[in-house]
Amino acid sequence: MRIITFDVETKNAFQDVGSNDSAALDISVVCTHDSLDGSYKSYLEDRFKDLWPILEQADALVTWNGDHFDIPLLNKYYPGDLTKIKSIDLMKEVQKSLGRRLKLDTAASATLGTKKSGNGLDAIVWWRDGEIDKVIKYCIDDVRITRELYDYALKNKIIKYHEGGMIKEIKLDTSNWEVEESKAMNCTLPF
C-alpha cells in the first residue's frame, strides 16, 4: 500500500486574508514522504505538476489536520478533487477518540519524545524573509513527525499526549488504515 504523508506551509496567515477558510491562503511549499521508497520531497508552486501524479497514485494520504486545512487548501491548486483519495487525518482520529483536538507538538513530544522545529507562523516569516530552505526543512520535519506518529499508532493502536504533568494514552482504531479502497479518477495522469 502506497502512503503519502504530507504537510503544507503557507505564504500568509488567516489574519492576512481576513478569513478562517484555509482555501483563502496561499501555499509556499508542500512536503511529502512516500512509503514506496521512503523519500522526503518538497514542492514549490512551480513544481506542483510533479506532485499531482504522486498524490493520484497514493492509496492513502496521511496528515495532521489535513481534512480541515491541508487538503482543502491544496485542492485550490489541484485540477481534480483530492477528497476522492482516502485520507487518514491523525488529528481527526485523535479527536474522535479523545473528544478534542491536540496539537501535533503535544502528540509528538509525548509519543515520540521529539518536538517540532518551529510553527506555521515562523514559516510565514521565513518565507517573507526569503529563507525558503528554512521553510522546507521545517515542513519536512513536520512530515517526518506525522509519519512517525502514523507508524507508532499503527503498531501500538495508541498515541500519547501530555496532560496535567502526566503522559496519557489515546486508543485509536487503526483497523481500516491500511485497507485499500477503490482509486480515485486521475486528473493529471494520461489515460
pLDDT in tens, 112-160: 999 988 888 899 999 999 999 999 999 999 999 999 999 999 999 999 9
pLDDT score for 181 = 82
CATH number at 3-171: 3.30.420.10
**Three-state DSSP class for residue 187:** coil
Long-range pairs, 128-135, Cβ under 8 A, ≥24? 128/11, 132/28, 132/29, 132/44, 135/9, 135/28, 135/29
pLDDT given for residue 26 in this prediction: 96
| Whether residue 190 has pLDDT greater than 60 | no
β-pair type (3-10, 60-63): parallel
Buried b (16+ CB within 10 A) or exposed e, 73-112: bbeebbebebeebbbbbbbbbbeeebeeebebbbbbbbbb
DSSP 3-state assignment of 35?
Answer: coil
* pLDDT tens by residue, 17-74: 999 999 999 999 999 999 999 999 999 999 999 999 999 999 999 999 999 999 999 9
The pLDDT, as a whole number, for residue 99 is 94
pLDDT over 50 at 191, yes or no: no
Q: Taking the CB of residue 15, how many other CB atoms lie within 10 A of it?
A: 8
Angle between helices 132-156 and 120-128 (to 10 degrees): 160
188 — pLDDT class (breaks 50, 70, 90)? low
Contact at 8 Å (CB) between 59 and 180? Answer: yes
Place of cell 502514523: 150
Give the pLDDT score at 180: 85
Tell me the chain's radius of gyration from C-alpha atoms: 16
CA distances, 125 to each of 39, 117, 136 (Å) = 27, 14, 13
